[in-house]
Structure 1
C-alpha cells in the first residue's frame, strides 16, 4: 500500500513553522510507529528580480546581493524544518526549495507528489492587506487539487 503524501508549505515565518509543528503533532504522532503518510516540506524562494522590482533605478545592481540573502534564508528555513521533523522522529521527510511565487510552487508540489493534503499557515491578513499582497492560503484553497488545511496560530487570549 502506497502512503499518502502531505505537502507543507514553509517560509521564514512563525506562522508557517506553527503549521509544520501542527502537522507533525497531529499527523505524525510518536505513538504511531508506521504513519500512513509521507511528508514533503516545500519552501518557495522568491526570485531576486521580483523582490527588487519595486526598488526603481539602480535596482539591478543589488540583485546578486538580494539573491544571496534569499538563498541564505532558504537554507535557514530548510534547516529549521529538518530539525523540527527530527524532533518528531520524522527522518524521511523530503525538503525542497523551489524558486518562484509560493502560490504556484505549492500547487505544483501537490501535483508533482500527488499529495492528498496541503498544509499552509494563515497570516491572518485583513481584507486590504490580503487584496494587495494576495493570500497564499486562499489561492491554494481554490486551486490545489487536494484537501487544503489552513492552520491558524491560536490567539494568546482565552475567551
Structure 2
C-alpha cells in the first residue's frame, strides 16, 4: 500500500469560472470519490490570484485607488477556496492542500508543478475561439506546452437547447 510520501501529486488549477469548477468536480469523481480514503493521488488545488498591478496596467495611466481592488481580489480568492473546500468535502476528499498564489495563472500553475513535483496538472477549458485565445491567451494551451508533467484539459459539456 502506498504511503502519502509515495503518492503522485495531482494539481488542479481553479478560478471562479464554471469551467474550472466543473474540472475540479470531474477530477474528484473520476480519480478520488470512489476510493473514499485511499486516493491514488495527493491533491493540490491552486488558485492564481491576479496582482492588482496587472489589472491596473490594463486600464492605462492615471491615479487609481488600489485598496478596493485588493479587497475584491482577496474576496474572490477566499470564495474560490471555500467553493473548492465544499466540493472536496461533499466528495469525501478531506486530505487536500489549497493554495492561493498571486500571479499569472500560466506561470503560477507551471511553478506549482515544479514545486510539488506533480505528475499531472488538471485545468478546465473556457472553450474560447481562436480570436479570444489569441487576445486573452489560453492558460490550458500554455500549460500543455510548458508544464513538465502530463496536462489534462477538462472540457465542460455543452448544454443542448
Correspondence 1:68-79 to 2 at 5 A: 68-79=71-82
In the alignment, structure 1 residue 90 sits paired with structure 2 residue 109: no
Partner of residue 147, structure 1: 150
Decide whether the 8 Å contact of 2:11 with 2:46 is kept in 1: yes
Q: Which runs of 5+ in 2 are unaligned?
A: none
TM-score w.r.t. the length of structure 1 is: 0.94
Match of residue 24, structure 1, among 25, 28, 35:
28
Residues matched between the structures, number: 157
Match of residue 47, structure 1, among 45, 51, 58:
51
Partner of residue 117, structure 2: 114
CA offset digits 1:84-121 (Å, max 9, x no partner) = 00111111100000000000000000111111000000
Decide whether the 8 Å contact of 1:30 with 1:89 is kept in 2: no
CA RMSD of aligned residues (A): 1.3
TM-score w.r.t. the length of structure 2 is: 0.93
Q: Which runs of 5+ in 1 are unaligned?
A: none
